[in-house]
Structures are given as C-alpha cells and as structure tokens.
Amino acid sequence: MSSKVYFGSLQHGKGNRFASLGAKFEEILEKLDFSSIEKKDKVAIKMHLGFNDGYQTIPVFFVRKLVEAVKKTGGYPFITDNPTAVYNAVNRGYTEETCGCPIIPVAGVKDGYKYSKEVNFKGVDSVDMAGVLHDADALINFAHAKGHGLCGFGGVIKNIALGGFAAKTRWNKIHGVVHYDKYWDADKCTPEHAKKLVESCPVKAINYKEDKHELRVAFYNCNQCMECIKADEGVGCLEIKQENLDAFQEFMAIAAKQVLDTFDKKKIFNINVALQITAFCDCMGMPMPIITNEIGILGSKDIVAIEQATLDLIKKEGILESSIPPFLKNVQLDPKLDLHPFQRLLGPMKDPYKVVEYAEKLEMGSSKYELIEILSPEETAKMEPPKERYETEPTFF
Ligand code: SF4
C-alpha cells in the first residue's frame, strides 16, 4: 500500500495568488484533514525555531496559516521547541502575536519536564521524552527540510527524534551513540601516532586528549575523505565505519517512534517545508547558501512516506554547484556516482535514506508513496484567474 503525500511546488503556472504556494499550502492543510482533532484538544506544532542568526527556518507566513487552520477545529494549538530556540524565537520573527498561538518550551523552562522511556539501544537504556510534547493530544510535525552533519538530512523524523527529547538525551545519548561501536584502538596507538592522525584530517574532525590517551572523531564534520586511514597505514588503530553513522540513524527512528506512540495515530500530521535547503541544520544558527533549488511544501499522515518523497524531490533537483560552501571539502560531484546530494556534500556514509529504512522496519509508515501535486504549474497555467484588485481595503488612498 502506498501512502498519499500532498505536494505544493513553489513554481506556479500563473502570476496570481490562487496559483502560488500560500494558496497551495492552504489546500494541503485541507487535504491533511484535521477533522480528527477534537474540540479543546491541545495541539502541539513541533517546529525548530532556529538559533541566533539562523533565519532560514519556516516562514511565519506559513506558521500563521497552520495555526489558523488548527483553531478552526476547536483545538488549542501551541508551538513547541527546545527552550533556547523558544527564548530567542522573537529575534527571528516568531511571537505569539505573529504566529497566533503560544510558544512553549518542549521540556519546560529548564529542560527538566520529562518522561523516561526504556529503549535499550547500544548502551542506552532509557531516554527522556520532552514532557510538553508528551502531554499534547495531537501532533503537527512541522519541519524545515535541510541537511544535517551526522545523518545527511533533517526533516520530520529528525524534528521529533531529537526535538522531542530533553537536552541530555538529545546531545549525550542520541548524538553520542555514534561513539558506541569501537573505531579506535588505544593499545595500538602511541600519543605520537595519535597526533599524526589529528594532523592528517583536513577538516579537524579528529580530537586527541593526551592526558587521557583518548581519541574521538567528530563525525558531524567528518566527510569520509579517508586521509586519516592513509596516515594510519601500518598501524591500523583507526577505522571510519558505516556502523557508527548508522547507529545515529537507527536511534533517530527509535526515538521518533517513541514520540509517535504517545499520540492517537489519527491525530498525527507531518509537513516538510522544502524551501531554503541548506547543507547543515538550523541548529547552526547562521544563514547559509541554499544548495538546491527551492522545492515547495509536502504534507502527509505518513512520516516515512513524506520523508522518502522529500528526499526524492531533493535528489531530482540536484546540487546548485555555485552555492557549495567553500569550507566543505571532498564534495563528490561525479555524476556517475549514485549519491544523494547530501551524501555528495557531507560524505558517502551519510545516506539520508537510512533513517527512512529504519523507520519503515519499525512499522512507522511506508516508503511507497503517491505524490499528489496540488495546483501544479501545468494545471494553473490553463486556469482562468479570479479577478484581483491590488491594495484593497484598508487603504490610505
Ligand atoms: S575520514 Fe577524513 S574527514 Fe573523516 S576523520 Fe578521517 S581525515 Fe578527517
């Protein structure tokens, strides 16, 4: 069975409002059908509101439309994200006045309102789910689609897999799982050799603490150029392995499932905003060049299907080569290599489809989808636009 994914492209067939993305977004929300949201339901709109100067998050314009659509159901929407992003959201234009509903820290004001859930995955026995999200009656998983240094891509799965948990779980347990499978042999490595390995890395992704004789690879920055492995020839104390990166992808699927399991299936809605797609995630807190053409907005009841469809659309668009940040090294542009744009930019082991595969195995949804385009450019090109007047009431004329 394939799942329905509704898609509105930024491109439009007529230069009129009825054919534009705002109108398409309203129709996607209609198709998602919020009728399962009951009167007085507390509806969590899980977003990432960005950090510092990172303004390439979801435009308030769409947030407001979503909030108004939820209010029509009689439910009470609120936006939620980690406390830091909530506290300074005003700097990027998100306030109760602009969005139309309260903005509440996902795990309380000190990131300490949480529920412990058992997971037993690679040395992690439990995770702390963010209490505010946990208490909501309905979930609108409203994500900005963009790259991510550890897994290649962040969309609706990552939005709740990381964003649905208190800080220590997010940072130490879920991000930290990449270090669970051993990739460095301390006994085979002298301090001098460890320093040689540090020097060999063009992006400074290898850290060595001589006092503890401890070496760590910052996988977020590692692009798998394998220069360190060349430097390790004859010693063989270091490996750059797929399983370390896959552990993060698998844990994301597990964590996202934990969040989804607290909701009635009928009350879960997923939206990926595939605009301003950058190589790294919104946590970077700074503007970055967009690395692929603007795509549009996707909506689905199926978290797996929407993620697969979003990744496929990005793959189809490919990379805007002139926008590749110069600090990214080892970018793979060879068209003969079958790599997703995020693998080309961030390293071949950062396959963004992995999390989709893990999520499908956990029966969170289906990667088979039917893409239903809303008001396609071809369709609107043939349509007669309604009469429009510019600068209607109120006006100073
Ligand atoms: S593979 Fe390349 S980027 Fe990764 S740690 Fe080794 S040298 Fe650094």
Express each pLDDT in 158-176 by its tens digit.
999 999 999 999 999 999 9
Site to probe by mutation for ligand 1, drawn from 195, 220, 222 as the one with most ligand atoms within 8 Å of Cβ, is: 222
Mean pLDDT across 53-72: 97
**Cβ(328) – ligand 1 distance below 6 Å:** no
Site to probe by mutation for ligand 1, drawn from 195, 226, 239 as the one with most ligand atoms within 8 Å of Cβ, is: 226
pLDDT at 1: 82
- pLDDT confidence band for 377 (50 / 70 / 90): very high
Query: Which residue's C-alpha comes closest to atom 3 of ligand 1?
Result: 222
- Cα of 239 vs centre of ligand 1, distance in Å, is 10
- pTM of the full predicted structure? 0.96
CATH code for residues 3-177+243-382: 3.40.50
Angular region, 216: left φ>0, alpha ψ -120 to 50, beta rest? beta
**Cβ(223) – ligand 1 distance below 6 Å:** yes
pLDDT at 20: 96
pLDDT at 272: 98
Q: Average pLDDT of the chain?
A: 96
Mean pLDDT across 247-255: 98
- Cα of 343 vs centre of ligand 1, distance in Å, is 15
**Cβ(244) – ligand 1 distance below 6 Å:** no
- pLDDT confidence band for 389 (50 / 70 / 90): confident
The sign one gets for the Cα dihedral 185, 188, 192, 196 is negative
Where is pLDDT greater, at 237 or 329? 237
In degrees and rounded to multiples of 5, residue 207 shows phi and psi of -115, 135
Q: Indicate the residue type of 113.
A: Y
Each residue's pLDDT tens digit, 126-161: 999 999 999 999 999 999 999 999 999 999 999 999
Q: How far apart are CA 343 and CA 153, in angstroms?
A: 9
Q: How far apart are CA 100 and CA 77, in angstroms?
A: 9
Mean pLDDT across 262-267: 98
pLDDT at 396: 72
- pLDDT confidence band for 36 (50 / 70 / 90): very high
Mean pLDDT across 267-287: 95
- Nearest residue to 12 (alpha-carbon basis) of 25, 29, 30, 3: 25
* Top CATH class, 182-240: alpha beta
CA angle (221 as vertex; 216, 226 as ends), nearest 5: 75
- Cα of 229 vs centre of ligand 1, distance in Å, is 8
Q: How many residues does the chain have?
A: 397
Each residue's pLDDT tens digit, 293-311: 999 999 999 999 999 999 9
- Nearest residue to 107 (alpha-carbon basis) of 44, 45, 164: 164
User: What are the residue ranges spanned by the domains of the chain?
Assistant: 3-177+243-382, 182-240
Buried b (16+ CB within 10 A) or exposed e, 368-389: ebeeeebbbeeebeeeeeeeee
Q: How far apart are CA 10 and CA 271, in angstroms?
A: 15
pLDDT at 70: 98
pLDDT above 80 (res 388): no
**Cβ(224) – ligand 1 distance below 6 Å:** yes
The rounded percent of the chain whose pLDDT value lies above 70 is 100
**Cβ(203) – ligand 1 distance below 6 Å:** yes
- pLDDT confidence band for 46 (50 / 70 / 90): very high
Report which ligand 1 atom has the smallest distance to the Cα of 227: 7
pLDDT above 90 (res 394): no
